[in-house]
Amino acid sequence: MFSRLAKRAAVLAVISACAMGVSVTPSSAAGEHTFTPQQPSYNGNDPRGNFSAQIKYSGDKLQWGWQLSTATAAPATGLMTERADLYCNGRSVAHDSHPGVSPRYFVHASASLGSRMTSCKWDLKVHETFPIGRGTRTIDLDFPFVVTLV
């Protein structure tokens, strides 16, 4: 039989584990996805949700979307806040945010990559938080990628 203190410690451990962010695993073994004209899109599913991205070569643009799974969003007791930042070689070049949206909202955005399109090691970082029964849940998505012309 567990004491109240042991039960509380177990509950806090579970809440802490659920609140930790996990990164999307890109398709390449090197830890980053490579977009090419032949393969301009990416779609990744994991238990937390579905992430998709594509490069519009004709406009030097990244388009992406991310939606939490029903199971991930289920504990939410309120609205979610989302923040996304796009980095080129470690420097922030674009920002997007959606305050006060449903945790099941399909977060999506686009960003111009411009003349830097093929000269950067890109990294899209998405940070989402929403209230749960006892605290806050945080979901972090990290999608490193490069864009090539071959």
| pLDDT, tens digit, 9 for 90 and up, residues 18-77 | 433 434 444 433 468 999 999 999 999 889 999 999 999 999 999 999 999 999 999 999
Give backbone dihedrals phi and psi of 79, rounded to 5 degrees, phi first: -80, 160
Range(s) of the domain holding residue 23: 4-147
As for how many domains the chain has, the answer is: 1
Q: What is the CATH number of the domain that holds 140?
A: 2.60.40.10
Answer yes or no: is pLDDT of 97 > 70. yes
Question: 64 has which bridge partners?
Answer: 53, 109
Q: Residues 124, 111: contact at Cβ < 8 Å?
A: no
